[in-house]
Amino acid sequence: MNTLPIDDIMHAIGVQARRASARMATASTSEKALALQTLADLLRQQAPALQAENAKDVERARTGGLAEPMVDRLKLTAKVLETAAQGCEQLAKMPDIIGEIIGLRQQPSGIRVGQMRVPIGVFGMIYESRPNVTIEAASLAIKSGNAAILRGGSEAIESNKALAALVRQALAAAGLPEDGVQLVPTTDREAVGRLIAMPEYVDVIIPRGGRGLIERISAGAKVPVIKHLDGICHTYVDDPCDIAMAVTIADNAKTQKYSPCNATETLLVARGVSEAFLPEIAAIYAAKGVQMRVTPEGRPLVSRVDGAEVQDATEEDWRTEYLAPIISIKIVEGLDEAIAHINTYGSHHTDAIVTNDHRHAQRFLREVDSASVMVNASTRFADGFEYGLGAEIGISTDKFHARGPVGVEGLTSLKYVVLGDGEIRR
Amino acid sequence: MNTLPIDDIMHAIGVQARRASARMATASTSEKALALQTLADLLRQQAPALQAENAKDVERARTGGLAEPMVDRLKLTAKVLETAAQGCEQLAKMPDIIGEIIGLRQQPSGIRVGQMRVPIGVFGMIYESRPNVTIEAASLAIKSGNAAILRGGSEAIESNKALAALVRQALAAAGLPEDGVQLVPTTDREAVGRLIAMPEYVDVIIPRGGRGLIERISAGAKVPVIKHLDGICHTYVDDPCDIAMAVTIADNAKTQKYSPCNATETLLVARGVSEAFLPEIAAIYAAKGVQMRVTPEGRPLVSRVDGAEVQDATEEDWRTEYLAPIISIKIVEGLDEAIAHINTYGSHHTDAIVTNDHRHAQRFLREVDSASVMVNASTRFADGFEYGLGAEIGISTDKFHARGPVGVEGLTSLKYVVLGDGEIRR
C-alpha cells in the first residue's frame, strides 16, 4: 500500500490538512453537531466491525509478548466505545466558542476593537496505545473547527484505521471535508519526524505519552508543542486548617488512583498541625499500603502507626513523580516554606493548600507558580471534565498559550476585529 | 569591566532575573504605579545627564559613518524623553490585570473553577538602535509584573546604560528588586545567543528589528518567540461600497506613512466598482508620487490619470512588503477571490474590507486568517495604542499565544484556580 516515500506521504497529508482547515474553520455549529452525532451513531452501529479490527491488534500484541496491562489498554470494549460515543454527543451539545467576539469596545478614534475566537488551523497529535484517543482527538478537532493529523501507536494501527474511517464518514455526512481529520497510515517512525517539522502545514503539535516521547518531540519540533511533562503535585496542610478535611483530601489526592499525573506526590505539613494531622493520615496510608518517605522531624509521628512502612526522605524524593503507592512527607515552618518548596521542586502542574486562613489561601493562589492552584480541594480534580471544559486533549505544564487542562479553547486563538465607519489614522 | 566570560555574565543575569521575578509577580498595583511614576520623574529630572550619555553614542555613530536617518533614531531629544515619561504615567494609571480571576464557576462536584491572570515570569527583549525602547520594555515589565532582560543595540549602549540605571533607581524607590529589569551590559554578540537559549531563566523572547534579526533569533531560540515578520497588508474595496469612503481609506492606508508594517501594500478591487473607484484613487496616488503596479485589466483605468506612474504587477509584487510609495493593485471578481488572494499571499498581519454588504463583512472577518481583520477602517489602525492596550511591545504575526499588537496582556498567562470546601474526587 504505502510504497511512497514517507516525505511524499506526509507532504500530501499536510497539503490536504491545510486545505481542509479553511472549510473546517467556517463550519457552522449545526454542521459540527451533525458530524459529532453521526460519529457517535457510527461508533455504536459499527461496534462489531471495530472490534473485529481491534482483535487483530490485540492478537498481534499478545503474540508479540506485550504485557497484559498494556494489552488491556488496547482493547475497544463495548464500554470504551460507548464512552467515546457519549463524549462526541456531549461535545455536540456544548456551546460553540468559534466566532465569539469578546471585549468589543469603541476607541477614541471611533473604531470598535474586539477579539474573535478562531481555530488555530491544523494540529498534529501524537499518541500511544489507547485507540479511543483517536476519537477524542477527532471530536475535539471537529468541535474546535481545526483540521487534525493523527499519529497513533503502531500497536493500535488496525483499530485506528477503522476508527478514522468512521470519522471520515461522519465528516462527509455533515458536508465537511473528509480530510478534516486524517490518520497517518504508516507506522514508520520517520513519519513523526516529518509531522513535527512542517510549519507550513501544521500549527501546533500535541504529544501524549511518556516523558521520553514528549522530550524527543519538543527537541525536534519546528512548531509549538503543547507539552505535558511531569506531575509532581503537592498538598500543603496549613496551620490553621480543618484536620478532618485535610485528612480526607490528603487521602483522596494520593490514593483515589495512583497513576494519574494529578495525584499528589508530596505532602507538606505545617509544624503547628503536624501532631494532630500526621498520625491520622499515616494510619490511612498504612492501611492502604502507601509507603511514606518522611523527613526526620516527622518520622516519630508517622512511625508509631501500626503497619506503617516508613523511610527517610532524600533530596531525590522531592523531585520524583512516583505514580505509585509512595508519598514523600515534609514538615515545614509554614506558608513561606511550603510555597518555596513547591516552586523549587514542583513541576508547575497542580498544587493544593488545605487552610482556614483567608490570607494564606490568597497568597498560595497568587504565589504558587503552577498551572492549577487549589484551596481545600483534592489535586485529583485537575482535569478537563472536572473543570467543565467538556473534553480534554491534554494537560499543559507550559506557561505559553495553553496552561493546565487543554480543551476546545486551547485549540483556538484570538484575532483582533476592527469595525469602522470610514475612520482613518490621523 | 566585563572581563567575565559571556556565559558567566548571562548565567548571573538569568539567575538574578528569575529570583526577581517572584517578587515582581506579587508587586501590588500601587507599588507598580510608584515605580512607573518615579521612572517618569527621573526621566524628566535627569534629562541633561541622559543626553550627555546619549551624545557619546551619537558622536560614535557619526564618526563610524552611520547614515543620518539612523543617527536621528538614536537621539534622546527632549521630545523623545517626554514621550517616554508620559508613556510611564499612562501605564501607571491603567487598570492592573495581574491577579484578576475570570470565569469562576461552580462545577457539579462543588468546586469552583476559574482562571487567574499571572505574569509569564521573565521575558528577554532584543532590539536595535532606538534607546527609548529600553523605557517602553522596562515600563511594560513593571506593569505586567514580569522581570525583563534587555539587550539593546550596540550603537545605543551608553544611552541604554544610563536609562537602565534610572529604571533600577525607580524599582528600588518602590521597594521592588533592582534586578527586575536588567540591561545586558556587554555588546558582545554571543550574549544574544545565550539569552535565547536559557529556558531555565527566560520564558519568552521578543525580538524587535528587521526580518533578518527575527529569523536568526527564531531559528536559534530554545524558548518561545513572539515574532513579527512581514506586514503585507491588504485593503479590499468590495462591491457594493461607499466609493468616497473607499478612496479615503485606501489613501490613508497607503500614504499616511509609508514605513510602518501596517501600511497597505496591495489594493484589491471588486470588478463592479473598479471603474468608479480606480481613477479616483489613482489621481491621489499620482499626486503623492505613489507608483502603482497593476494587473492588465486595471491598467487603462489607472493610466489615464495625469502623472500616474504605472507598471505591470508581477507575481512577486503580491509577496512584497514595499514600505515605500509603491502599491500593487489587482481587480478581482469579488469577495471569494479577495479572501483567497489575501490568505495565499498575505502575511497574516492586517487586512481590511471596505463594504456596504453585511454578509460580506461577516465573511471577511471570519475567513481572512490574519491577526487583525477590519471593516471600513484603515489598516494603519493596527497598533497597541489605537487598540486601547495602553502600550505595545510588538505585533505578533503568530497564531500561538499572542496575536496582533502585544501589550501587557500578551506578557501574561492564565492559570487555573480551584476553590473548594473539602471536595474530593469520586
Contact A91, A390 (CB under 8 A): yes
Q: In Å, how far are A25, A107, A234, B260 from B407, measured between CA atoms? A: 27, 16, 33, 18
Over residues A39-48, the mean pLDDT reads 98
A423 interaction partners in chain B (CB closer than 8 Å) = 376-378, 381
Residue B356: closest C-alpha in chain A: A421
Provide the 8-state DSSP code for A382: -
Q: Do A399 and B107 touch (CB under 8 A)?
A: no
Q: Do A366 and B401 touch (CB under 8 A)?
A: no
How far away is chain A from the Cα of B361, in angstroms, using its nearest Cα? 9
Q: Which residue reads 489602525 in cell numbers?
A: B381
pLDDT in tens, B246-298: 999 999 999 999 989 999 999 999 999 999 999 999 999 999 999 999 999 99
Q: Do B375 and A416 touch (CB under 8 A)?
A: no
Q: In Å, how far are A83, B57, B156 from B71, measured between CA atoms? A: 67, 9, 10
Of residues B282, B144, B263, the one with CA closest to residue B203: B144
d(CA A9, CA A187): 12
pLDDT in tens, A110-137: 999 999 999 999 999 999 878 999 999 9
Confidence of residue B213 (pLDDT cuts 50, 70, 90): confident
pLDDT value, residue A220:
87
The CATH architecture to which A6-227+406-417 belongs is 3-Layer(aba) Sandwich (3.40)
Over residues A81-98, the mean pLDDT reads 95
Q: Kindly provide the residue ranges of all beta strands, DSSP E only, lying in B211-296, ordered along the sequence.
A: 233-237, 264-270, 291-294
d(CA A229, CA A212): 9
A425 interaction partners in chain B (CB closer than 8 Å) = 252, 256, 378, 380-381, 386
Give me the interface pTM, i.e. the ipTM.
Answer: 0.91
How far away is chain B from the Cα of A385, in angstroms, using its nearest Cα? 10
Contact B285, B254 (CB under 8 A): yes
Between A25, A381, A403, which is nearest B418 by CB? A381
d(CA B98, CA A60): 54
pLDDT at position A1 over 60 = no
pLDDT at position B219 over 90 = no
Write the Ramachandran bin of B394: left for phi over 0, alpha for psi from -120 to 50, otherwise beta.
Answer: left
A22 interaction partners in chain B (CB closer than 8 Å) = 343, 367, 369
Between B224, B373, B386, which is nearest A109 by CB? B386
pLDDT at position A372 over 80 = yes
Question: What residues have CB less than 8 Å from B335, skipping those under 6 apart?
Answer: B236, B238, B270, B353, B360, B363, B364
Between A26, A224, A367, which is nearest B224 by CB? A224
Between B369, B388, B418, which is nearest A113 by CB? B388
Mutation pick from B375, B380, B424 vs chain A, by most beta carbons of A within 10 Å, is B424
Q: Could you tell me the three cell numbers for B287? A: 499626486
B366 interaction partners in chain A (CB closer than 8 Å) = 25-26, 99, 116, 118
Kindly give the interhelix angle for B132-144 and B157-173, rounded to the nearest 10 degrees: 30
Residue A319, Cβ neighbours under 10 Å: how many? 16
Q: Hey, CA dihedral for A336, A337, A339, A340, is it positive or negative?
A: positive
Q: Do A403 and B413 touch (CB under 8 A)?
A: yes
Which strand (E) or helix (H) includes residue A173? helix A157-173
pLDDT at position A93 over 80 = yes
Contact B125, B27 (CB under 8 A): no
A100 interaction partners in chain B (CB closer than 8 Å) = none
B253 interaction partners in chain A (CB closer than 8 Å) = 424
Q: Could you tell me the three cell numbers for B249? A: 481609506
How far away is chain B from the Cα of A107, in angstroms, using its nearest Cα? 7
Provide the 8-state DSSP code for A44: H
Q: Say if domain A233-386 classifies as CATH 3.40.309.10.
A: yes
Contact A376, A308 (CB under 8 A): no
SS3 A37: helix
pLDDT at position A88 over 90 = yes
Write the Ramachandran bin of B333: left for phi over 0, alpha for psi from -120 to 50, otherwise beta.
Answer: alpha
pLDDT value, residue A227:
84
Average confidence score pLDDT of chain B:
94
Q: What is the CATH number of domain B6-226+406-417?
A: 3.40.605.10
Q: Hey, CA dihedral for B47, B51, B54, B56, is it positive or negative?
A: negative
Over residues A393-402, the mean pLDDT reads 85
Q: Hey, CA dihedral for A207, A210, A212, A213, is it positive or negative?
A: negative
Mutation pick from A97, A397, A399 vs chain B, by most beta carbons of B within 10 Å, is A399
Between B378, B404, B415, which is nearest A370 by CB? B415
Domains of chain B, residue spans: 6-226+406-417, 233-381
Q: Do A419 and B256 touch (CB under 8 A)?
A: no
pLDDT value, residue A390:
78
Q: Could you tell me the three cell numbers for B245? A: 469612503
Report the relative pairing of strands B404-406 and B394-396 from DSSP bridges: antiparallel
d(CA B238, CA B267): 11
A416 interaction partners in chain B (CB closer than 8 Å) = 371-373, 382, 387, 403-405
Q: Do A249 and B422 touch (CB under 8 A)?
A: yes
A365 interaction partners in chain B (CB closer than 8 Å) = 116, 417
Between B242, B399, B424, which is nearest A413 by CB? B399
Q: In Å, how far are B157, B189, B277 from B186, measured between CA atoms? A: 8, 8, 55
pLDDT in tens, B154-174: 999 999 999 999 999 999 999
Q: Could you tell me the three cell numbers for A118? A: 478562531
pLDDT value, residue A224:
87
Residue B32, Cβ neighbours under 10 Å: how many? 23
Mutation pick from B259, B373, B425 vs chain A, by most beta carbons of A within 10 Å, is B425
Question: What residues have CB less than 8 Å from B156, skipping those under 6 apart?
Answer: B57, B74, B129, B130, B131
Q: Do A424 and B369 touch (CB under 8 A)?
A: no
The CATH architecture to which B233-381 belongs is 3-Layer(aba) Sandwich (3.40)
Residue B204: closest C-alpha in chain A: A400
pLDDT value, residue A296:
96
Q: Do A399 and B120 touch (CB under 8 A)?
A: yes
Q: Do A378 and B424 touch (CB under 8 A)?
A: yes
Q: Could you tell me the three cell numbers for B154? A: 550596540
pLDDT at position A95 over 80 = yes
A421 interaction partners in chain B (CB closer than 8 Å) = 376
pLDDT value, residue B49:
97
pLDDT in tens, B72-121: 989 999 999 999 999 999 999 999 999 999 999 999 999 999 999 999 99
Q: How far is CA B292 from the centre of its chain?
A: 28
Confidence of residue B3 (pLDDT cuts 50, 70, 90): low
pLDDT value, residue A3:
64
Over residues A172-177, the mean pLDDT reads 98
Residue B403: closest C-alpha in chain A: A415
Confidence of residue A210 (pLDDT cuts 50, 70, 90): confident
pLDDT at position B344 over 70 = yes
d(CA A266, CA A269): 10
pLDDT in tens, A253-295: 999 999 899 999 999 999 999 999 999 999 999 999 999 999 9
How far away is chain B from the Cα of A183, in angstroms, using its nearest Cα? 24
Provide the 8-state DSSP code for B88: H
Average confidence score pLDDT of chain A:
94
B405 interaction partners in chain A (CB closer than 8 Å) = 416
B252 interaction partners in chain A (CB closer than 8 Å) = 424-425
Provide the 8-state DSSP code for A287: H
Q: Do A120 and B399 touch (CB under 8 A)?
A: yes
pLDDT at position B12 over 70 = yes
Q: In Å, how far are A79, A123, A164, A201, B262 from A13, measured between CA atoms? A: 32, 12, 14, 9, 34
